[in-house]
Amino acid sequence: MDFSGKDNFMPCNNEAQRLSRLLKHCNVRMFQGNGHTILLESGVNLLSTIKTTQMYRHSSKYDVFKDFLPISMTEFKTSPLENWWYRLCIGTAVFSTMEDGKIVRGLAGIPDKGPVLVVGNHMLWGFDAFSVVLEFLREKKITLHGLAHPEIYQIRVEDEFIMIPYTDAVKILGAIPVSPRNLFRLLSRNSYALLYPGGARESLHRKGEAYKLFWPDKEEFVRMAVKLGATIIPFGAVGEDDLSELIIDYNDMKKIPFFDQKVNEYNQGRTNLREGMGGEIAQQPLHIPIFLPKLPGRYYFLFGKPIQTKGKEHMLDDKNYLRELYMQIKCDVEKNIDYLLTKREDDPYRGIVERFMWLMNCGSLDQIPSFEP
């Protein structure tokens, strides 16, 4: 059930809450900026609402694979992530590596057939995943299924007005709750999967930890990729430090009683995917760092040379091979990060002012130049 936040004809909020108590399996959604004729107004897509509330399904229980509908062109074009000002601020510049090792602008180095497992580093907040998924849709017309933290799908009532726009975008773009079973189901369907081994620990890193990897010691995903013959593509991402500067991180919060209490309360009953593991990877409590916004710089992504595992199924019991492959992937991600950190200094359009001038002169957000690879 949808209701408007600015309906001047009737008290929609009260009526929606009353009906939700009478109707079984009723999901209430508020559109704060809309009025009485909500379905006739811009910014409201009924198809998207039906999909994100999981009301479209083939059985009584929603299945994230069987009931998933790829994003439509209308949903794609009207997505808040496709707004010109958002794309201008982020300024995503994507590079990929061909089979011969040549680095090119765009995604020409990405295989046209799955299964493909894209593995890389998370930047602060984890919003970089949106840029990666949207670039795959825009250029390759491929749905890249991000493996996301399960808490994204479990919104508390007190958080819903803040989190719903974010979780809606995650669901529409094809994100799947991260788990070994779901990764197996994706790759066995010859799909494209996006995995961040560092998870919440990387996306909620502390001061001085930008672009540092926090990966588990065990080869969590390599064995499955080899078993299913997936092509692994390691990538590096940089640019979040151009958008914000951490003021109070998790370590600071633990020293301040008020913040420490709030973090503990927020994590009460929530899922810690790496609970029981040793090392830093287990230290990933969910929290909201306090940061200072900065004049936007630019996001950069470099997808490394594809690593083929097809035909290596007989190596599944070779621990040395799996370990070496895991370390190769991690090393490639770190090399890609270092490459981007160096090369972005030569980008004449790294700043938002320069990109805005390009947009005014050339009128396209798809062709803003960057450094020469």
Q: Taking the mean position of all CA atoms in its chain, how far away is CA 50?
A: 22
Predicted local distance difference test score (pLDDT) of residue 157: 45
Q: Are the C-beta atoms of residues 64 and 177 closer than 8 Å to each other? A: yes
* Helices of type H across 257-310: 257-267
Helices (H), 79-210: 84-90, 128-135, 160-172, 180-188, 199-203
pLDDT at 351 over 90: yes
Q: Comparing 5-14, 259-268, 321-330, which segment has the lowest mean pLDDT? A: 5-14
**Average pLDDT of span 305-314:** 95
Q: What is the largest CA-CA distance in the chain?
A: 69
pLDDT value of position 229: 96
Phi, psi values for residue 175, rounded to 5° = -70, 150
Least confident residue range of 41-50, 73-82, 129-138, 168-177:
41-50
Helix and strand counts by DSSP (H, E) for the chain:
13, 13
Mean pLDDT of the region 165-190: 89
Average pLDDT, the chain: 86
Phi and psi (nearest 5°) for 23? -95, 140
Q: β-pairing, 244-248 with 231-238?
A: unpaired
Joined together, the tokens standing for residue 119 give 């593995």
Identify which has the larger pLDDT, 31 or 197. 197
- The helix (H) or strand (E) run that includes residue 244 is strand 244-248
Continuous H helices in 156-256:
160-172, 180-188, 199-203, 222-227, 250-255
CA dihedral (103, 105, 111, 112) in degrees, to 10, reads: -160
Q: Are strands 93-97 and 103-105 parallel, antiparallel or unpaired?
A: antiparallel
Mean pLDDT of 137-163: 76
pTM exceeding 0.75:
yes
H helices present in 141-195, as ranges:
160-172, 180-188
159 is written with which tokens? 């958080």
d(CA 338, CA 334): 6
